[in-house]
Structures are given as C-alpha cells and as structure tokens.
Structure 1
Amino acid sequence: MIVLPSPPSAAIACPVAAGIEKLDETVASAPGLSVAGLLKRYAPRYLQKHGVQAVPQVQSTLAKLSLCRTRALGGHVYRCRGCQSETPLYNSCGDRHCPQCSGAKRADWLDSTSELLVPGVTYFQVVFTLPEELAALSLGNRREIYNLLFHSAWQALRDQIALEQGFEAAAAMVLHTWNQKLEAHPHVHALVPGGGPSLDRSRPGWISSRKRSGKPSSTPYLVDAKELRKRYREFVLKGLVQLREREKLKLEGDWSRLKDQANWDEWLGRFENKTWVSFIQAPPNEDCRPEHVAKYLARYMTGGPISDRRLISHEDGKVQFWARVGDQTGGGDGRSAPYTLSGIEFARRWSMHILPRGFTKSRRYGGFSNRHRDRYLKECAAWMNSQDEPPQAADAKPEHDEPSDEDTVPTCPHCDEEMELIRWSSKPSWSDVMSSQYRPWWYRDD
C-alpha cells in the first residue's frame, strides 16, 4: 500500500479566502520531487512530441529552467572552515517562470505591495475569471485576451465602486492563467482597499465601504457582487468586439468560422446571459490586519501553476499531484484529490502558462498606479489620521518567509560548519550560454 502525503490545508492565522488554494507551511512535497526537476526531465520529450506548439518564448524559458543552478551559469565556490571540503553554489537563471527562483519574486512583491497599505483600511481580494470558451480562445491570443481581462476587471471595479461608494478606487492585480489541473483558466486576483478619498471634491473626506440599503452586512462589504459581474461581462464583450473589428484577434483553425459576422454574433450572444464567475472575499475577522492579507496573498499571487508541496509521486513516467475537486471555475467543496498526468503532458500543460515576452503580469491601477500613487497615499494618510480614533500603524514591511540568497551564510553539507568564499564567476549572458557547450541539444532559436 502506498501512503500518500497529506494534501495542502490551511494553517495560518488569517486565511483570506476559502475559494483559493489553501497553504500549509508544515506540508512538504514527496522527498526529492520538485516541479523544476520534472520539467528538466520531461521538457526534451515534450518538445520532441509537441515542438510545433512551442513558440520561441517557450523554448527559451524551458532552456533557462534546464540550466538554472548548474555549472553553465557560473557561481560561487565555498570552502568549509572545518573539514576543508569545497562546495559549488551555482547561479540561478532568474526567469520569472522558474519554480526555483520564486522566493525573490515573492519578497519583491510583498515589499512593493506593503508600501501601498494604509493602516486601518480593510482590504479585499476580488477575483475575475473568463468563461471556458474564452479561455480556449486566449491560447491563440494570449496578449490580447489577457490585456482585455486586466482592463475589464479594473474598469468594472472602478465604476462599481464609484457608483455604490463614491470613493477613489485602487487595485493591485496579478494574472494567473491556470486551474489546479494546469488547464487554461485565465483570471486575475486584485487586492482592493475598502475605502478611499471621496470623488466629490465639493465634499472632501474619507469614505469607508458599506452597504447603503437593505439588510446590514455582518462582514466587511465592498460592492454588490452581482452588479460587479454584470459590469465586468459588459466590458469584456465590448472589448472582444473591438479586438475583432481592429483585426487584433487571430481566428485560425476551428476559430476561423468566427470570421463570418453571423457566426460571430451567434457565438458572442452565448455570453450575454451567461453567469460569469467573479467573487469578492473580505478578511474573515477584525484581527486580520492589512499586512496579514498582503503576506498571505504574496504566497498565492506570486506563485506558479503548481508548487512542490502539491506533488505526490513520480513513477513509470507518470506524475501525481493534489488538485482541488470541482470544476475549473473554483466550484466543488474545497477538497483535494490525487490527479495524474503523464510526464510529457505535465510539461506541456505547465508550458501553456509561459507568458508572452515582455508581458506584465502584475499591475496597479487607480490610486495604486505610478501616476497617482504618491498623491493618493498622502490623501489617504491625511484623512485616516484626522479621524477621532486613528488606527495603530501597520508594519511598513512584513517579514519575509524566506531569506534571500545574499542574506544566507552557507554551511557545509558534510559537517554543518560555516563556509567561506574562495572563488566566484559571474553569470554569462544567455547568448553566450546558448553558443556554448551547455546549450540544450533540443533548443532551437528559429
């Protein structure tokens, strides 16, 4: 009998939401099993079988991941002060998709987001998804559809907050393109303050979000979720029409029928009365301070399609991992169950989520945008400090869960004594690496 490691479960003081991936810092992946290791093993076979699908950006990313923390990228050599053994520590690739380089990305996001937090303000997580049919269309139109998703989510949030609450909206958004089975499921997570400076300049002041009519809410309230969904749907459908009119949509293969206006109108009409999935999640209790929300979301929002902790086993060319029970919109009862893919299919699905070159997956809007941030934060601080009972200040920068490589003094793997640096080499350029003996045999740059 094979005993499976326990599925990830919630184990932090302030879980922001039940509908997103629960995390447990005590759960570890199967010994010796990692996402990076699986990708290094199966990327060549995936490219042999599905090479026509692998655009240059996919090729480049997989090549970088295959060389991460290897001799090809140079590094540092340390000598143990005790047993005198030498240990090389090779440089990381630094690619934003790399599972081995996520710690620094998480720390950077947490630092930059923490600077936006205003003490005493309630922060919400708002999630916007696309219907399954649009997720399929996005595979051939990633940049266009992902941009539309971002813009539509922000426009819907901004307008609904202005209509219901009357304060200036702000949002920090991150794009995810997957569900727990690694299928295409584009959606954005937004960190949104539940208050802000009044939009009515004739009546300046601070406005906190609250229900304006009907039964009082027992939990923090942002806006009407149903109305937000409707508004979001309208912006997406309008944007799709504009993309097609401007010939920005690639409608090839099975999608070529949508070049016909009648077929397009019929296809688009399916979405007008369809219930779109988006939801608003408030902190579950008053003890959940802004920095707790940011720290929790940093783990989730800066992660990749799958973490090592969800891996169960790798046997006979098959990879088994935990995936939530339910459909790709987040339905189900929140339980996780083992899910199995071939190693090649695991690499193929993971590679679907490599973003277009230069695409920005983390964006800030409204009061959090570069254009308005300084003025917005000054106004927020001024109005919050003018209240009768000013809140206690939040920590400016929450502590990181993981130290950076630069902060870590390496210890000897043989005797656990501290080591000293004796030589090092800088990381070469990627053009030099790909022209060297370390170039992966399967890599092509056409």
Structure 2
Amino acid sequence: MGLTIQSLLQQHLDRFSQQHPLSSDMLGAAVRMRDCQTAAMGGHINSCPDGHFHQIAYNSCRHRCCPQCNCLARVRWLEGWKHRLLSCPHYHTIFTTSHDLLPLWRYNKDVFADTLFAAASQTLIELLRDPKYLGATVGLLTALHTWSQTLAEHVHLHVLVSAGGLDDWGCWKEPKKSCLLPRKVLMIKFRGKFRAMLLEKLDRGELVVPPDTSEARLRGLLNKLGRTVWNVKILDRYDHGEGVATYLANYLKGGPIGNRRLLCEREGRVYFRYRAPTQSGSDRNRQSVTSLAVDDFIARLLEHVPPRRFQAVRGYGLYCGNQHSRLDEAHEALGKALGLERPETEVAILSVEKFLESIGREDAGKCPTCGAELVSHGHFEPGRPPPLRVIRLLEQKRGVA
C-alpha cells in the first residue's frame, strides 16, 4: 500500500507533537485521522444472519479533514446543494486576502473568517441589489479555503453567485449584462468593507494582535493595504452551478490534500503532486511534483484544521437557509420565467446502500456466500480489542468450521 496521510501520522505524530506546539483542534484532528478505522476508534462485528461470514468493522473518525472516510458525507452535501441551487447560470467569484495578513489570520481564525464571509457577502448583495447592476436579491454559496496546492497558507473565499435574482415584487430578474459586476468596483468595495470591519473589531478588542507586531503597526498595515490592488476574480459564467458545487465538495470534505496526490516518503521528505501555475491555458492543469520535509508537511497539513464547530460553507441571500431566504419563492418565479416545473421541495438523504451501489460496491454490506444483508452486533469501545469471543460463540452455534 502506498503512502497515506494516516500512515504518515502513525509513524511521525508522537514525535512531532512532542517537538512542536499544537492547538487542541490540531492535535485532536491528527489523532483522529491517525486512528481512523482502527481498534483505537472502537467498532462492531458484522455477521451473516446464517453464520456464513463474520467481519470486524472499525469505526471511522468522521473528521472533516480525514481523506479516507468522508466520501459519503461529500456526496450527501453535494446532492443536497444540487437540489437547492436555482436552475439558472451561476458566476464563480474568488476573494483572496493579502498574504501580509497571514499572521493576523493564524491568531484569529474564527474572527478573521467571519469577517471575510461578511465582507464578501455584503459586498455582492449590496452591489447586485443596486438597479444599476441587477436590482434583485441573488443566491450566494460561499466556501472558505485556506491552502494552496502546496499546502501553503492561502486564505481565500469561493463564492457561487446566481445569475439573476428575486426583486422586491417577487419576480425573477435576469442580469442586464453578461459580466456579473465591474471587477474594480467589486474589489474596491470588498477591500473597504473588509478593512473597516477588521479595524472595528480591533477597536473593540476582538482581535488578538500577533506577538511579533503591535496594534499601531497592525493599523498601519491595514491602512497601507487600503491603497493596494487586491486579488478579486470573476470567472466566466457557468450554465449551471453544479460544476462549481462539485469543485467545492471535493475540497470541503477530506482535508486539503487527498491520498491520491501522495507519492512516497524518502530520506525524510514527503513527495506529492500539485497543479503547477502556468500562464498557458493549455497547460493550466499540468501536474508537477514537489516535496517537503516530513515535519513541514505535517505542520502545513495541521495548520488548515478548522476550529471546532466552524462553518466553512455558508449561504447568503436566496441561499441563506433560514425562513427569510425566499428560496422557494425564487424557484417558483424562475420556473414561471423559464417555463420550468417547480422542483421537489424535499430531497431524500442518500442511504448507505444507494451510495455503495453508485460506486460499484453494492456487495460491501452483504454476505459473500449467500448475499444476505450483514447484521451488526458485538459493539466494542474505543481502545478495546474486538470481542473475538462473539465470533467463536456464533461459529459454535451455527456449526461453522
């Protein structure tokens, strides 16, 4: 078996945690990823009801950064959002924060991220409610990413924006132009809001000033950044938002890097694939290989563990998810405008059986001898060995050799 995040942590985490300070969130995530689907997580016995087959099944850690146990959660998230997304084109916008603010990010992840979500969403909603641009309320699906392809810190926000919205009279309104907004207008308004919100939180004492700077220097940096160009992108319009939602799903569940990108560990370094940035459109997805020292790789990986109970995906406007979202009204208005039938109001949660069938593993929960559904029993607590006596008793009872 090739190199995985789990095998890397199993080999190096104990030493790494003794030599490097880790927050409780980082250490907790690392331990869970290391112990995922092992006896340390506890488990149960799966048995054929006729005694043909017995299987020890260890529990998954279910941490959002674990690359080996989030496949079902990813598919369920995507299925839910595919159902909620409006049947209209969508724009993909990206708001990137200055790398000069990374020290502030490290010491204020919750507050910094909340501010980024608020500044970007308010900027888009306010501009698009202006009759000069659209004059309607749009749907926003926002997702925070904090990493680059090489796991370096790169704090940016992906926003999926509906191309059209609901006006004050409940009618669907199409965009006036093919371009969502003037990029410079969007950048200036976002930059101003984000800086103003950070300064306000600094005044109220809600921000921790990094130890290598002072409050006065931080204010000076924020003022200086107000005169620079920020990286705000408005990508080409997509016929539907499902493509971008699929892209986001691949990043939101499973952590910043998957096992498929890992190549090997050699001479104290981890080698992995990444997409090299190029100027050529034809080579945009060209794969390259880089390496990091083992400790640097683990440090970068754990730096992107989100704070506990932190929401990395949020909806605003028509997609805000509460009773004020008007999403059902928007679906109905859009259906009338396009002559489409209104979608179902509820979507069934994807079952484990349907999921296994969709990936070609429909036999995973069945007896390989008779095809009967396996029955779970003999649960055991984390850190305890599987109760093998249960299997022996069942074998004796069923007369299985």
Q: Shorter-chain-normalised TM-score: which range? A: 0.7 to 0.9
Within 2, Cα distance between the matches of 1:59 and 1:191?
Answer: 32
The counterpart of 2:250, out of the listed 287, 291, 299, is 299
Which residue of 1 is the match for residue 189 of structure 2? 231
Which moves more between the two structures, 38-47 or 236-245?
38-47
CA deviations over 1:112-131 (Å, ceiling 9, x no partner): 31232222x11122211111
Offset, 1:405: 6.4
The counterpart of 1:93, out of the listed 43, 61, 66, is 61
| One-letter amino acid matched to 2:220 | E
| One-letter amino acid matched to 2:301 | W
**Residue 195 (1) aligns with residue 164 (2):** yes
Within 1, Cα distance between the matches of 2:366 and 2:343?
Answer: 39
Which residue of 2 is the match for residue 43 of structure 1? 13
Within 2, Cα distance between the matches of 1:226 and 1:427?
Answer: 59
Which residue of 2 is the match for residue 279 of structure 1? 233
Which residue of 2 is the match for residue 205 of structure 1? 171
* Structure 2 CA distance for partners of 1:246 and 1:269, relative to 1, 3 Å: same
**Residue 126 (1) aligns with residue 93 (2):** yes
Offset, 1:83: 12
The within-5 A match list for 1:355-374 is 355-372=306-323
Offset, 1:252: 3.7
The counterpart of 1:222, out of the listed 174, 180, 183, is 180
* Structure 2 CA distance for partners of 1:390 and 1:228, relative to 1, 3 Å: same
Which residue of 2 is the match for residue 24 of structure 1? none
Contact 1:323/1:339 (CA < 8 Å) preserved in 2? yes
Residue aligned with 2:142, SS: strand
Offset, 1:399: 11
The counterpart of 2:330, out of the listed 380, 394, 410, is 380
Which residue of 2 is the match for residue 352 of structure 1? 303
Residue aligned with 1:42, SS: helix
The counterpart of 2:224, out of the listed 270, 273, 278, is 270
Which residue of 2 is the match for residue 322 of structure 1? 273
Unpaired stretches in structure 1, ≥5 consecutive residues: 1-30, 212-216, 439-446
CA deviations over 1:330-382 (Å, ceiling 9, x no partner): xx955332110122221111000111122111111122113346x62232133
Within 2, Cα distance between the matches of 1:427 and 1:227?
Answer: 59
Residue aligned with 1:304, SS: coil
Which residue of 2 is the match for residue 55 of structure 1? 23
Offset, 1:69: 0.5
Contact 2:64/2:255 (CA < 8 Å) preserved in 1? no
| One-letter amino acid matched to 2:55 | T
Contact 2:2/2:263 (CA < 8 Å) preserved in 1? no
What root-mean-square deviation, in Å, do the aligned CA atoms of Structure 1 and Structure 2 show? 3.3
Contact 1:78/1:419 (CA < 8 Å) preserved in 2? no
Which residue of 1 is the match for residue 339 of structure 2? 390
Contact 1:136/1:184 (CA < 8 Å) preserved in 2? no
Within 1, Cα distance between the matches of 2:332 and 2:54?
Answer: 56
| One-letter amino acid matched to 1:116 | R
Residue aligned with 1:139, SS: helix
**Residue 146 (1) aligns with residue 77 (2):** no
Which residue of 1 is the match for residue 128 of structure 2? 161
| One-letter amino acid matched to 1:279 | K
Within 2, Cα distance between the matches of 1:293 and 1:139?
Answer: 28
Q: What is the TM-score normalised by the length of structure 2? A: 0.82
Which moves more between the two structures, 124-133 or 310-319?
310-319
Which residue of 2 is the match for residue 185 of structure 1? 154
Runs of 4+ in 1 over 6 A off after TM superposition: 80-83, 392-400
Which residue of 2 is the match for residue 109 of structure 1? 77
Residue aligned with 2:68, SS: helix
Residue aligned with 1:344, SS: helix
Which residue of 1 is the match for residue 374 of structure 2? 421
Which residue of 1 is the match for residue 396 of structure 2? none
Contact 1:182/1:305 (CA < 8 Å) preserved in 2? yes
Offset, 1:315: 2.0
Offset, 1:154: 0.6
Count of residues in correspondence between the two structures: 374
* Structure 2 CA distance for partners of 1:427 and 1:175, relative to 1, 3 Å: farther
Which residue of 2 is the match for residue 171 of structure 1? 140
Contact 1:178/1:184 (CA < 8 Å) preserved in 2? yes
| One-letter amino acid matched to 1:64 | R
Residue aligned with 1:386, SS: helix
| One-letter amino acid matched to 1:113 | W
CA deviations over 1:283-305 (Å, ceiling 9, x no partner): 45xxx444444334422444421
Matched-pair identity in %: 27
The within-5 A match list for 1:334-349 is 334-349=285-300
Within 1, Cα distance between the matches of 2:70 and 2:185?
Answer: 36
Q: What is the TM-score normalised by the length of structure 1? A: 0.74
Offset, 1:231: 1.0
